[in-house]
Structures are given as structure tokens and as C-alpha cells.
Structure 1
Amino acid sequence: MKPLGIYIHIPFCLSKCNYCGFYSRGGTSAAEQESYIESLIDDIKTYSSLYGSRYLVDTVFIGGGTPSILEAGLVGKVLAALRAHFDIAEDAEITIESNPRTLTEEKLTAYRQAGVNRLSMGLQSFDENCLKTLGRVHTAQDFVSNYQMARACGFDNINVDLMFAVPGHTMDIWQDTLERTIALAPEHISFYSLQIEEGTPFYDLFMAGEFDQVPDDVDREMYHTAIRRFKEAGYEHYEISNCAKPGRQCRHNLKYWSMGDYLGIGSGASSYVDGIRFTQPPLSFFHENGFADDTAEFVFTGLRKTRGISLAEFKERYGRDFWKVFVDRRGALSPYFESGQLVEEDGVLRLSEEGFDISNAIMAIFV
């Protein structure tokens, strides 16, 4: 049986953050949430008839939105439905995303009993002004209290999400957040530069010329400072925006960056199964990948990983030499090889740390 990751989308939040471009909504009632879960379980049954006999599920990721906004029993119902209709590996990585102020001891205990073994917590910043700017509903102390509660409830695999280059952000603020996060010793840390997404309050401010954007050079200094400090603290920088203690990389997210099969269930959830990309309503999309699609995606997702892509793996997977497929891209890539931002050595093509600063420009050459 082939390995499969399953992503469960829970589109509910206490309120939408000022930067969030994901499909989600705030202010829903308990009745709406229960109805959504019943519909989601019906979808699980339907997808099981299509894929259940051919795949072994080795990762589950419950994301959103804010899944931890749900009553604890609803999360258990979803996982019970997955186990009833799919083969779930005994050592499956099962993650739930959460935000401070939505977690309780009751919920955390219920998650553990339902089989959740990885918790992802949205901190973003230890600075209260940054949290207010982002539209977060929690305080730094809310996060610390929830983090300690999660440890007490038995979670030994926790990710913390951070965000930098927030309006008003300074290096001192960012370094304080880094040090306080490292002191908590989470197993995994994700760190993202603020992106302005269309349809968000930040986008409206930007278009009106009222957005206090952090200069690019400061953004990049924050990024490289984070990488350096995490490495000094014993973390492996394994993907552009992710680091982990040894052996604690996010197995589910690695599927996205390695062209593994994953099935998205829930409103707006995206899938890549059997070479087909599709998205559930209301973000309906369907595309059957051809050779050019798959090879390009293998490259620009794989280059997100610090280890890059194996040219031997490319040939084994697609039956052709890498540079025969992309021979016409050599010229455009030459400046990046010469600058050391793109490196080919020992049969591996990868970006250097400086190459990550312009990764979009390099990856676009393969599209």
C-alpha cells in the first residue's frame, strides 16, 4: 500500500487575523460547527471508497482556521471516522493546529486520548504590540500557559509558529521572541516573513499606501538571525521556513515538499493524489498533472528543502536525466550558480542559505 497523508480542514476561528489569506471564517456557532463535522465525516466515507483500499495513512494534519476552537469531542469523532474508513499506520504522525485562548486541559487530554501526538501552536510573537498589530486574540502569557499545559498533558512533540517583519518590528523585538522561544525548547519551530495577501486588512492598507512595511534588508537580517540562533540551539534548518530538533521534522509537510500523495478533506482543502491536483468547494480546482507539471513541481517544491533534490531520485522517478529535461534552463540559471545561490554537488541540486533570499526567482525558472 502506498503512503498517504490526510489533511483535515477546519475553517473556523475566533476572528480572522489581519494577515490571513486562508479560507476560514470567524464567529460561527456550535451548531454550525457540529453540522460541518457531520458533513466532513460523510466526505471521509466517500473518499474512503476511492482511496481507502490502496493507501496506508501515515500522517494526519488537522489544520485551519483554528481546529482547537472545536469542542473536544468533535475532534475525536473525526479521528474515529478516519480510523473506521482508512488504514492508519500505528506510528502515524497526527497533528492538530491550535491557538492560545482556545486550548483547555480538557481538550488537550481528549486530543491525546484520540491519538493526537503532535501539537502546532500559533504564537507569532512574544511582543504584545506585534500581536495586536497582527490581530491575534491571545497574549504572550496565554501562549506560555497553554504551552506548559500541553507539556503537562503529555505532548512531547510541539511546533511553535513565529512571524517576523511585522509592522513596527525591530531586531530587538525579534531577538527577544527567538530567545524566549528557544528557552521553551519546542521540538519544531516554523518562522515566516509576513506576506501581504489579497483580501486581507493588511492588503487594503498596503493598497492605500498606509502599510508600514519593514524594509527588505531588515526582513532578511531577521531571517538569517533566526537560522543562526536555531542552529546554535541544536535545531536543524531543514526547509526554508522550518527547523526541528533531530528526528522531529514535520512528516506531513515533507509530503508537500517531496511530491508525496496527500488527500485534503473539508471546505477548500487541496489534494494531490495519483498525479491529480484538486481542491474542494468553494475553491474548486481540478488538474491532471502531465510530465512537465510533475517534473517542474518536483523541482520547485524540493528546492524548499535545505537538502535540495537528488538528481538520481529525479531520474528514477521520471525516467530521464535531470539536465536533459531542463537543458533549456541552464542559461537562465547560470548567474545563480556563479553567485553560489544555487549549488550542484554530489548529485544534489540545492539552494544555499543566501539562495533562499531569492528562492522565488530561481524556482520560477522551472515553471
Structure 2
Amino acid sequence: MIESAHLYIHVPFCIKKCRYCDFYSETDLSLIPDYVTALVREIRLRSQLTASRSKSGAATVYFGGGTPSLLGPRQLESILRALDNAFGLWRQTEITLEANPGTLDEIHLKSFRDMGVNRVSLGVQSLDPAQLSLLGRIHSAEGAVCAVKKVRAAGIENISIDLMYGLPGQTEKHLIRELEAALGLNPAHLSCYMLTMEPGTGLHAMHERGMFLPMAQSDQVDLFCAAAQYLKACGWDHYEVSNFARHTSLRSLHNSAYWQMVPYHGFGPAAHSYAVKFDTDGSAAYKRFWNAPDLDGYIRALKSGKIPPSDHETLTLEQRQMEYVMVGLRTSMGLDIRTGQNLWRNRFLTVFQSLMENLENQGFARPRDAGQRFVLTLDGWMRLDSIIASFVERI
């Protein structure tokens, strides 16, 4: 059995590419059946490459994309059956399905729930018609509200809503109104992402043609602060820069594994994996693997019984140190000093003590758990990029 208990499935299909999105996806939905067949073969082939076949069970499964809600019940069932054969899916396994509000079918949702899907992440992005149009979404504000009701009516209560802020013309008052409307839908979780312009996206092309002017970063940071303060006042758990849970028990277990640098395995074109391989002498190698973002090549390779085109790298100690800092500072758990000491061979405090004390004195960070953790405050998160850069300079 593959060693990772956290599994990611990339479903690379969209009805229409949104203007802000740079994730790999295709719009030829006729390829979905061939993709599912190939995906099931990839899961089986990769599981056969490992020596161990004991089923410790998958802790999480995350269907991302793309638009996983474009899958039909039989297609999802065949994928889950393959994962169960390779890993073991238990009642407590967190199984998340990303969904576009414009692609939900209530009968399908009930089937998904019966198969074990117990968490749905809805890509709402905005409840403002003008903003939805700018982003190129296929659903309306009313459709998003209806989608939440459909998911709940299907018996799935663990609902996460994605929202985007920092859109042109957006004010603090406008954002708080959106958050109020979102909380009125009683979700379990909110992901609030700052709009960014990535190369190759529609918004980036519009910007180059002078048709789109992004909000100034300082104004985006002000909106981030306003959202965080509002949700904190409402009693929400701000456990990662962009993520909030109604209660600590409702945090995303899958994404939390990423942020804790726990090994995971990805399937599907463009999916990434992270693994720790131990040698006979007890030494460990930290490796990252990824499938090529090529749906045709993926289907073709697996049809002939081959592993799909992929690449890999072995992380250097410096890369692992940078990732530890970059990921840890994003979370409310912060940096674990003992882990840092191990990673820096007992030199973590020597390297960073003065920097951490300076950040604490400025109110940008605080110690936690009797000094065993170093955590950024909200003011620190507002300066996250520059603080990370200060740590990286010392690595």
C-alpha cells in the first residue's frame, strides 16, 4: 500500500475557465470517462509499486480541481472503490468534494453522501453579481445560496464556502456585508482568499490590455484585517491566514496536513505528492513528485499500462527549512521550537532568536505553549511576506 494517509485527487475539468484561476483544467467534458478509467489505473499501479500492503486507512481524501462536482455518481464510486482497495476508507475518513455552485445536482449529492463524501467545499467566491461577472463564474449569487441548501438537504452538514476579497472597488463595508450573508448560510468553514493575478489567467491578460486594474496591495491587506477582526468577533477560529472554522473541530483536516508538512499522495494530471523515504541506515530522504499537466498524455500512458509522465525532486535541507518557516508562519500553531531545533541541528534559536524577539517587541508575534511555539499575531500576518523574507535571509 502507498504510505500516505492523505490523498488528493485532481479532477481537471471545468465547464468554463474562470478569469482568476491558474489551476490545470480542460473544458472537453467528453474526456471524463477516459480520465476516470485512467485515474483508477493510476491508483492501482502506484499502490502495486510499494512493498507494504497493510491498510492503515486513509485519514483524508480531497477531490480538487477543476470542478470535481462534474463527476457522476458511478464515476465517483469507481474512484472511491479504487482508493478503498489501495488504502482502506473508513467511516471517519474526511472526504471532501470541491464543487461549483452551478454544477450541483441534489440527487447526485445524496448519492455522494451515501458513498462517504462528508464535506463539500463550495467555490462561491462572491455573492455580488457584478463581482461574479468580473471573475467569470458560471453561477449567480442566488445560485450559490441555493447550492448551500442543496448540499444540506442531501445530508452533508460540513460545508465550506470559498470567498474572494481584494476585488476592484470592494470596500470594507461591502466585504463585511458579504461575510454576513455567508455566515447567514451557516457554513462550518470559510476560506477567504486575496485576489491575485497569475500569469496565463484571463485577468492577467485583461490587465496587460489595460482592461483590469487590481486593487493596491495595502488596500487588500486592510480588507484582510477587517475580515479577520469581524470573524473573530463572531467567534470563528482563524487557524490559517486564509482559513476560518466555526469551531476547532471543523478545521480542514486535509489542508492542515499540508501545513504540517505531513506526507500526502496525489493522483491525476498535475497532482503533486510528498513522501519521506527511509534508507536501510535510518537516514531519510524527503521527495516531491508531480504528474505532468497533460490530460491527453495521462490517459494515453495509463491506457497502455504505464505510469503517467511525471517528475520529482529530493528536497535539500535548505528547502525543507524554508518550507517549514513559510508554512508554519501561516498557521495559528506557528513554528514548533523543538522541530526547528531538530531541523537546524540545535541551531534554530541561535539563528532566529534575535529576529523572533524583535517581532515580539513590535507586537507582530508572541510565544505560545510556554515558549515552545512562535506564533504570528494578526498584525504579523498582515506583514507575512516581509516576515517570511526576514527568516529566509537567515537560512
Q: What is the TM-score when the length of structure 2 is the normalising length?
A: 0.86
The secondary structure found in structure 2 opposite 1:12 is coil
Aligned to 2:292: 281
| Rounded Cα–Cα distance in structure 2 between residues aligned with 1:29 and 1:157 | 28
Aligned to 2:218: 217
| Rounded Cα–Cα distance in structure 2 between residues aligned with 1:332 and 1:204 | 40
The secondary structure found in structure 2 opposite 1:320 is coil
Q: Do structure 1's residue 268 and structure 2's residue 270 form an aligned pair?
A: yes
1:335 and 1:318, CA in 2 relative to 1: closer, same or farther beyond 3 A? Answer: closer
Aligned to 1:302: 328
Query: Could you tell me which amino acid in structure 1 is paired with residue 290 of structure 2?
Result: T
The secondary structure found in structure 2 opposite 1:354 is helix
Conserved 8 A contact 1:72-1:106: no
1:330 Cα shift?
5.6
Aligned to 1:22: 23
Moved more, 154-163 or 287-296: 287-296
Q: Do structure 1's residue 357 and structure 2's residue 356 form an aligned pair?
A: no
1:1-367 to structure 2, matched below 5 A, reads 4-26=5-27, 28-30=28-30, 32-51=31-50, 53=53, 56-246=57-247, 247-274=249-276, 275-282=286-293, 284-315=310-341, 318=343, 320-321=345-346, 324-325=347-348, 327-328=350-351, 336-345=359-368, 346-364=371-389, 365-366=391-392
| Rounded Cα–Cα distance in structure 1 between residues aligned with 2:237 and 2:337 | 23
Q: What is the TM-score when the length of structure 1 is the normalising length?
A: 0.92
Conserved 8 A contact 1:7-1:60: yes
1:210 and 1:154, CA in 2 relative to 1: closer, same or farther beyond 3 A? Answer: same
Query: Could you tell me which amino acid in structure 2 is paired with residue 70 of structure 1?
Result: L
1:198 and 1:331, CA in 2 relative to 1: closer, same or farther beyond 3 A? Answer: farther
The secondary structure found in structure 1 opposite 2:17 is coil
Query: Could you tell me which amino acid in structure 2 is paired with residue 252 of structure 1?
Result: H
The secondary structure found in structure 2 opposite 1:349 is strand
Conserved 8 A contact 2:4-2:265: no
Q: Residues 184-225 of structure 1, C-alpha deviation per residue, up to 9 Å, x if partnerless?
A: 110000000101101011112223444222233331222112
| Rounded Cα–Cα distance in structure 2 between residues aligned with 1:187 and 1:117 | 12
Query: Could you tell me which amino acid in structure 2 is paired with residue 228 of structure 1?
Result: Q
1:110 Cα shift?
1.2
Conserved 8 A contact 1:11-1:65: yes
| Rounded Cα–Cα distance in structure 1 between residues aligned with 2:246 and 2:204 | 35
| Rounded Cα–Cα distance in structure 1 between residues aligned with 2:210 and 2:311 | 33
The secondary structure found in structure 2 opposite 1:268 is coil
Report runs of 4+ in structure 1 exceeding 4 Å deviation.
Answer: 328-335
1:153 Cα shift?
0.9
Conserved 8 A contact 2:24-2:293: no
| Rounded Cα–Cα distance in structure 1 between residues aligned with 2:231 and 2:167 | 20
1:340 and 1:68, CA in 2 relative to 1: closer, same or farther beyond 3 A? Answer: same
Conserved 8 A contact 2:15-2:29: no
Q: Residues 71-109 of structure 1, C-alpha deviation per residue, up to 9 Å, x if partnerless?
A: 222111111111122223431100000011200111101
Q: Residues 240-279 of structure 1, C-alpha deviation per residue, up to 9 Å, x if partnerless?
A: 0000022100000001100101101000001111121111
| Rounded Cα–Cα distance in structure 1 between residues aligned with 2:269 and 2:349 | 36
Query: Could you tell me which amino acid in structure 1 is paired with residue 177 of structure 2?
Result: D
Query: Could you tell me which amino acid in structure 2 is paired with residue 48 of structure 1?
Result: S
| Rounded Cα–Cα distance in structure 2 between residues aligned with 1:232 and 1:50 | 50
Q: Residues 311-330 of structure 1, C-alpha deviation per residue, up to 9 Å, x if partnerless?
A: 12444x64833xx1474456
Q: Residues 100-157 of structure 1, C-alpha deviation per residue, up to 9 Å, x if partnerless?
A: 1200111101110111000000111110000000000100111111111111110110
Query: Could you tell me which amino acid in structure 1 is paired with residue 272 of structure 2?
Result: S
Q: How much identity, in percent, do the aligned residues show?
A: 33
The secondary structure found in structure 2 opposite 1:273 is strand
Conserved 8 A contact 2:5-2:87: no
| Rounded Cα–Cα distance in structure 2 between residues aligned with 1:58 and 1:242 | 20
The secondary structure found in structure 2 opposite 1:13 is coil
Query: Could you tell me which amino acid in structure 2 is paired with residue 5 of structure 1?
Result: H
1:218 and 1:39, CA in 2 relative to 1: closer, same or farther beyond 3 A? Answer: same
Query: Could you tell me which amino acid in structure 1 is paired with residue 271 of structure 2?
Result: A
| Rounded Cα–Cα distance in structure 1 between residues aligned with 2:4 and 2:71 | 28
1:306 Cα shift?
1.5
| Rounded Cα–Cα distance in structure 1 between residues aligned with 2:313 and 2:344 | 22
- Extract unaligned runs of 5+ from structure 2: 277-285, 295-309
Q: Residues 23-45 of structure 1, C-alpha deviation per residue, up to 9 Å, x if partnerless?
A: 1122x133x10000100111100
| Rounded Cα–Cα distance in structure 2 between residues aligned with 1:56 and 1:294 | 27
1:342 Cα shift?
3.5
1:3 Cα shift?
5.6
The secondary structure found in structure 1 opposite 2:265 is strand
The secondary structure found in structure 2 opposite 1:25 is coil
